[in-house]
Amino acid sequence: MPNSVTALSPDELVAAWAAEPGLTYIDVRTVSEFCAGRPKGQVVNIPWEFHAPAGGTPHPNPSFVEVISALFAHDAPLVTGCGKGPRALAAAEALCEAGFRNVRTLAGGFAAWQAQRLLCTTDNRPGVSYVSLLTRVRRPDGETGPAGH
């Protein structure tokens, strides 16, 4: 890949949040992983992949770049993170290929964050959860669909 994605340590991410207004951590883990715990800060969940219920086989999230492109400018400061790092790097590379210019990853993922004993939360409210973000992108007028569903 022509662009090199910089990896931040957990402490560097904490410092970047303080220094860069608008910096958003995109947790690319599955919805269930995200709900079990995540870094506390400006974080949203946009899964890189989903796991099939039978057997847990991963398959890509076809809306990953679409959702991020709808929510963030191409120069927005973004950091991707996952459990240990590989999904976050793949996601960051896909974002760079889609034209995002300020993308970094969390080195070691959420496991490294927890090892540093940094603040965590299980907050999954609207505006943070994947379902709410996808709904905002797909139905920007705020409608919930037929018969209020």
Q: Which residue has the tokens 């402490």?
A: 11
96 assigned to active site: no
CB of 15 within 8 A of CB of 113? no
Burial 106-136 (b: 16+ CB within 10 A, else e): bbbbbebbeeeebeeeeebeeebbbeebbbe
Q: Which of 35, 82, 96, 120 is catalytic?
A: 82
Query: Within its chain, how far is the Cα of 124 from the centroid?
Result: 13
> Tokens standing for 113?
């964050």
d(CA 113, CA 38): 9
> Tokens standing for 40?
């506390």
Active site residues: 82
